[in-house]
Structure 1
Amino acid sequence: MNEEVKSAVRVLEMLELLARSTRPVSLKEVALELGYPKSSAHQLLATLVSRGYAMREDGERYRLNEACRSGPGWTGGGDAQLIALAQPVMRQLRDQCGETVLLGVRMRDGRLKTIAKCVGSMPVRYDSELAGGLPSYCTALGRVLLAYWDPVLTDRHLARERIVRLTDHTTVDRVRIRSLIQDARREGFAISDQEMDADGCGVAAPIYDAGGTVVAALDIAVVAQRFASRKQSLLDLVVAHARTISARNGFRPEAHGEAGA
Structure 2
Amino acid sequence: MADEIDKGESGGPRAMGRVLALLELLARTPVGLPLADISVALGVPKSTLLNSLRPLVVDDFLVVEGVLYRLGPRAFRLAATIGSAYDLPRMVRGYLRALAEETQESVCLAVLDQEMRRFVYIDVIESSRPVRYAMRLGMSGPLYSTAAGRVLLAYQTPDYQDDYIAKAKLVALTDRTNTDRDVLRRQLEEVRQTGLWVSLGESVEDSAAVAAPVFGPDGAILAAISLGAPSDRLVANREALTAAVVKTAAHASGGMAAV
Q: TM-score, length-normalised on structure 1?
A: 0.63
CA contact 2:121–2:140 (8 Å) conserved in 1: no
Secondary structure at the residue paired with 1:134? strand
User: Shift of residue 227 of structure 1?
Assistant: 1.8
**Structure 2 counterpart of 1:104, which letter?**
A
Q: Using the aligned pairs only, state the percent identity.
A: 32
Given that 1:95 and 1:121 are in contact with CA atoms closer than 8 Å, whether structure 2 keeps it comes out as no
Superposed, 1:11-26 pairs within 5 Å as none
Larger CA Rg, structure 1 vs 2 = 2
- Cα distance, 1:87 vs structure 2: 1.1
Match status 1:87 vs 2:93: yes
> Aligned partners of 2:149 and 2:178: how far apart in 1?
13
Q: Deviations over 1:176-195 (max 9, x none)?
A: 11111110011100111111
- Asked if 1:203 corresponds to 2:216, the answer is no
Deviations 1:154-183 (A, max 9, x none): 110121111111111111111111111110
Letter in 1 for 2:122: I
Name the CA distance, whole Å, in 2 between partners of 1:194 and 1:162: 19
Q: Deviations over 1:74-133 (max 9, x none)?
A: xxxx9x921101111101100000000011011113321111111113221111223355
| Ranges in structure 1 where 5+ consecutive residues have no aligned partner | 1-77, 254-258
Query: By how many angstroms is 1:143 displaced?
Result: 0.7
Which TM-score applies when normalising by structure 2? 0.64
- Regions of 4+ moved over 6 Å: none
1:45: which partner in 2?
Answer: none
* Partner residue, 2:174: 167
Once the two structures are superposed, residues 15-64 of structure 1 have per-residue CA deviations (whole angstroms, 9 ceiling, x without a partner) of xxxxxxxxxxxxxxxxxxxxxxxxxxxxxxxxxxxxxxxxxxxxxxxxxx
Deviation larger for 127-136 or 214-223: 127-136
- Gaps of at least 5 residues in structure 2 are 1-83
* Corresponding residue of 2:131: 124
Tell me if structure 1 keeps the 8 A contact 2:145–2:202. yes
Distance 1:182 1:240 in 2: 21
User: How many equivalent pairs are there?
Assistant: 174
**C-alpha distance in structure 1 between counterparts of 2:238 and 2:163, whole Å:** 31
Matched, 1:105 2:107: no
Q: CA RMSD in A?
A: 1.7
